[in-house]
Amino acid sequence: MNYSITTKKGDQGKTTLLDHSVIEKSDLRPESYGALDEATAFIGLARSFCSQQNVIDILRGMQNHIYLINAELACPVDRLHLLKHMLQESHLEQLEGWEKQIEQDLELPRKFVLYGECKSAAYLDVARAVMRRAERRTVILHHSTDLQNETILPYLNRASDILFLLARYEEFKQNIPYAHPDVV
């Protein structure tokens, strides 16, 4: 028998967390992990257009880390022991290492840039904007439920930073000059 993803359990606006508790889809948890799911979908889209293997590898690593965060966000704090894997400080350190690596090869623009100079950078910039929204949603969740993992918020903050860097790196490696807003 084939497996179906349609269960119809969510037809009334409810969703099930990892511990099988049922909450409203508008709850802060689905808002947070939903925004993060959007961000990782855009990361995957950007990855499919990237020209640099190191960027592709970083994005895949970030997506793996984001799955760990999403699992934590989909699990009530008192049930976190059910998770086999969680985001660790070492994941944040890895992200920061990637960031330093890219910054060494890149001269950053000193003023605002216009997005969309190439497809990969444009998608990375969309992923960054969605990541910022996911971060804001997760901060609200943290204030209401006190997330136990103190690495999540710094990770999300750095993730949007590195997505900006990777977008500029893709432009740089494709010899595309930074575009800046016209001053009128």
pLDDT of amino acid 182: 83
What residues pair up with 16 in beta bridges, in sequence order?
22
Give the single-character DSSP code of 14.
E
Cα-based torsion angle of the residue sequence 163, 165, 170, 173 in order, rounded to the nearest 10 degrees:
-160
CATH of 20-173, picked from 1.20.1200.10, 3.30.420.40, 1.10.10.1100, 2.60.40.10, is 1.20.1200.10
Q: Distance between CA atoms of 80 and 96, rounded to whole angstroms?
A: 25
Over 90: is that where the pLDDT of 4 sits?
Answer: no
Lowest mean pLDDT among 19-28, 34-43, 153-162: 19-28
57-85 pLDDT per residue, tens: 999 999 999 999 999 998 877 787 878 89
Selection from 22, 26, 28, 19 nearest residue 7 by Cα: 22
Average pLDDT, the chain: 90
The pLDDT score that the predictor gives to residue 184 is 47
